């Protein structure tokens, strides 16, 4: 793939300084850039290194403008964002042809869009729907009555339990499990044994969600588990039954949410965070790595950072850590 600097600048809405006919063939970091690559710099102090690299062109912030540069610059207010957008123009050509591989199992009742791709060894259940432009990777198993929207990318070895609804442009990485039974039992007082509580609710994944490798998201027990639009979930994350996750939430790797938790919009959860059932994390809260939230607890405050177990605002928490260190030294 070749794109001129002008084409890229139009796509990402940047202003060009220099030769806009220069051709770009890929993207790279400044350190690894080869001839033809596009790179980006976010801070002025890194601009000289970018200009000295092998790169063909540089996406840059509005650092004030010199008279001349040895390479074309694409100037914009958000250079990292522009680079991420430009990268879409250079996506690898390994996408398989649309269509259904003969080694896939697609029942007559399934409705697969003509330009969707169903790779080999995929099993679709009865009445599954797959929207246009979506690609289902090898060996993925999709249960009955699942609906997958447009332009989704489901990687290999994913399991989607029956009835799950997946929106548009959703990315599901390898090994993820969606819609499995929640963890709910009733102990019989007379025998002491656990009886399985029904786990027959739904799971809804809204548009533009990304779900990491080997993450698990349980269906609702009787109600719904919902992942809101634009939310990004890293690898090995667990989300229990009946959780309701808002929009544009970020959940880092190995974080675990037990049941019936509400996460409001724009929350950021660090890695290995654990949250007890029926807790509520309100809009815009940030929770540091390994933080723990007790059941039914509410965390509140846009942009407020919480940390520790039980999680508290980070400032008093750090004060506690410091006080403890002083105390230990005195003894």
Distance CA 159, CA 146 (A): 11
CA atoms within 13 A on the CB side of 131: 15
Closest to a copy of itself by CB, 9 or 221: 221
The distance of closest approach from Cβ of residue 121 to a copy of itself in the complex, given in angstroms and rounded to an integer, is: 6
Closest to a copy of itself by CB, 45 or 67: 45
Closest to a copy of itself by CB, 19 or 43: 43
Closest to a copy of itself by CB, 131 or 175: 175
The distance of closest approach from Cβ of residue 299 to a copy of itself in the complex, given in angstroms and rounded to an integer, is: 16
Closest to a copy of itself by CB, 22 or 33: 33
Are the CB atoms for 5 and 24 separated by under 8 Å? yes
The distance of closest approach from Cβ of residue 302 to a copy of itself in the complex, given in angstroms and rounded to an integer, is: 12
The distance of closest approach from Cβ of residue 271 to a copy of itself in the complex, given in angstroms and rounded to an integer, is: 5
DSSP-derived secondary structure for 133-192: T-EE-TT-EE-TT-EE-TT-EE-TT-EE-TT-EE-SS-EE-TT-EEEEPP--EEE-TTT-
The distance of closest approach from Cβ of residue 105 to a copy of itself in the complex, given in angstroms and rounded to an integer, is: 6
Pairing verdict, β 141-142 and 117-118? unpaired
Closest to 116 (Cα-Cα) out of 146, 85, 161, 154: 154
Are the CB atoms for 270 and 292 separated by under 8 Å? no
Closest to a copy of itself by CB, 173 or 226: 173
- Max Cα distance, the chain (Å): 85
Closest to a copy of itself by CB, 68 or 110: 110
Q: Point out the catalytic residue in the list 54, 101, 173, 241.
A: 241
Distance CA 278, CA 260 (A): 5
Strand-by-strand arrangement of the 57-60 sheet:
15-17, 73-75, 57-60, 37-41, 26-27
Tokens of 28: 């790279």
Residue 23 contacts by C-beta under 8 Å, 6 or more apart in sequence? 2, 3, 4, 5, 36, 56
Q: Is there a catalytic annotation at residue 241?
A: yes
Are the CB atoms for 219 and 256 separated by under 8 Å? no
The distance of closest approach from Cβ of residue 175 to a copy of itself in the complex, given in angstroms and rounded to an integer, is: 5
The distance of closest approach from Cβ of residue 73 to a copy of itself in the complex, given in angstroms and rounded to an integer, is: 19
Distance CA 58, CA 38 (A): 6
Closest to 14 (Cα-Cα) out of 59, 64, 66, 68: 59
Catalytic residues: 241
């Amino acid at each position: 793939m070749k794109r001129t600097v002008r084409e890229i600048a139009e796509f990402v809405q940047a202003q060009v300084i220099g030769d806009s006919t220069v051709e770009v063939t890929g993207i790279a970091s400044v350190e690894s850039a080869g001839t033809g690559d596009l790179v980006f710099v976010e801070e002025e102090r890194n601009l000289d290194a970018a200009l000295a690299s092998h790169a063909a062109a540089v996406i840059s912030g509005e650092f004030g403008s010199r008279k001349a540069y040895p390479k074309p610059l694409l100037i914009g207010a958000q250079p990292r964002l522009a680079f991420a957008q430009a990268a879409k123009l250079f996506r690898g050509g390994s996408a398989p042809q649309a269509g259904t591989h003969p080694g896939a199992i697609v029942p007559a009742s399934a409705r697969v869009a003509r330009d969707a791709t169903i790779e080999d060894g995929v099993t679709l259940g009865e009445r599954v729907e797959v929207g246009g432009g979506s690609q289902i990777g090898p060996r993925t198993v999709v249960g009955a009555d699942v609906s997958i929207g447009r332009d989704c990318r489901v990687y290999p070895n994913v399991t989607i339990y029956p009835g799950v609804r997946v929106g548009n442009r959703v990315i599901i990485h390898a090994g993820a499990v969606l819609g499995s039974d929640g963890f709910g039992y009733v102990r019989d007082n007379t025998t002491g044994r656990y009886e399985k509580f029904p786990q027959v609710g739904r799971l809804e994944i809204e548009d533009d969600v990304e779900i990491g490798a080997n993450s698990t998201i349980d269906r609702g027990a009787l109600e719904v588990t919902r992942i809101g639009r634009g939310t990004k979930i890293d690898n090995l994350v667990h989300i229990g039954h009946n959780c309701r996750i808002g929009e544009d939430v970020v959940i880092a790797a190995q974080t675990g949410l037990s049941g019936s938790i509400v996460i409001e919009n724009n929350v950021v959860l660090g890695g290995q965070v654990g949250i007890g059932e029926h807790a509520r994390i309100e809009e815009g809260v940030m929770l540091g790595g390994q933080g723990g939230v007790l059941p039914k607890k509410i965390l509140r405050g846009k942009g407020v950072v919480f940390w520790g177990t039980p999680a508290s605002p980070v400032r008093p928490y750090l004060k506690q850590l410091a006080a403890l260190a002083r105390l230990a030294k005195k003894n």
